[in-house]
């Protein structure tokens, strides 16, 4: 799971700016393939207003099973195992 900004380069802005960009969140499910190697299963993306724990928790509750293992993002760890 990670949050990110989507938008192009703005010639009139110095440094990083999110004034003309959209904030999104991405969750990727890891699965084992037929050769027992870890690979990417499903991926979910959503535009969010902020990367607060409350916003991310809502997305997690919609897309992540309660029997999964969540790594990182301490406020969200209690959603999974």
What are 16-73's pLDDT values in tens digits? Answer: 666 678 888 888 888 889 999 999 888 888 888 888 888 888 888 888 777 777 666 6
pLDDT value of residue 36: 92
3-state secondary structure of 57: helix
Strands (E), the chain: 2-6, 22-32, 38-48
Q: Is pLDDT of 77 > 60?
A: no
pTM: 0.64
**Domain residues for 56?**
2-79
Here the tokens at position 1 are 């799971």
Q: How many domains does the chain have?
A: 1
pLDDT value of residue 81: 47
Give 51's contacts (C-beta < 8 A, 6+ positions apart). Answer: 3, 23, 25
């Amino acid at each position: 799971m990670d949050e990110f900004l989507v938008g192009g380069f703005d010639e009139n802005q110095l440094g990083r700016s999110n004034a003309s960009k959209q904030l999104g969140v991405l969750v990727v499910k890891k699965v084992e393939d037929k050769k027992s190697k870890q690979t990417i299963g499903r991926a979910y993306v959503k535009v969010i207003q902020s990367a607060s724990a409350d916003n991310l928790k809502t997305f997690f509750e919609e897309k992540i099973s309660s029997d999964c293992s969540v790594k990182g993002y301490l406020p969200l760890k209690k959603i999974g195992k």
